[in-house]
Amino acid sequence: MPNTSFPNGFNNGVSIREIPILISQNPNANVFWVNNSSNANGSDGNPGTEKKPFATLDYAIGRCTANNGDIIFVAPGHAENVATAGAIAVDMAGISIFGVAEGSNKPTFTFTETAATMAVSAASITIGGLKVVPSVDSVVSPLAITGDDCKIDIESVDLSDAVEFVRVILATGANRGYFKVKHIGRPGGIACVNGIQLNEC
């Protein structure tokens, strides 16, 4: 980890866009960047720094160490397609994933099949500042949460009356979670059933 003015971490934690990084007190935590925007030269062969970022979120997750306070920053303009169930597997406990832009520059994940998901199976995951959109109608649940003690704050946007999510978050057996969705639907749409569904939580 580079030299820092806070070698012992942050006793009171750190918040980004009002989402606390509760696990940031480890001074040896890894910090990775993901950015495949046109001017970023993102590649999964890069070291994952801000100047030489990874190209995909799933690859960055695989470079993390469980329960080490690791943080992944997803850069402005990053855009990724999610084509299968569990294509992005958030399976490393205790990591935080943050998009660092707002509006049209917010990192965007486009779900291209009805069963496509970002699967959050590990515990104590924090995700914020990302946007999810469907490119086909009736994408069932872009975020499938089964890990305990997760904090998810996400934006979803239906593209038209005929291209919608059925729901945004499906949490199954995910105890003590905090889930927040900003959903922008369409007045003529009929596919969306709910923003968040909790099963056996």
pTM: 0.87
- Please report the pLDDT score of residue 23 as a whole number: 45
pLDDT band at 179 (very low <50, low <70, confident <90, very high): very high
Contact between 17 and 129 under an 8 Å Cβ cutoff? The reply is yes
Q: What is the pLDDT of residues 43-79, one digit of tens each?
A: 999 999 999 999 999 999 999 999 999 999 999 999 9
pLDDT above 90 coverage of the chain, percent = 77
E strand or H helix that includes residue 113: none
Residue 19 confidence (pLDDT):
47
Tokens of 168: 């945004």
Per-residue pLDDT tens over the stretch 107-131: 999 999 999 999 999 999 999 999 9
Give the Cα separation of 64 and 18 in Å (integer): 23
Q: How far apart are CA 101 and CA 176, in angstroms?
A: 28
**pLDDT given at position 16:** 53
pLDDT beyond 90 at 165: yes
Top mean pLDDT of 20-29, 100-109, 118-127, 183-192 is at: 118-127
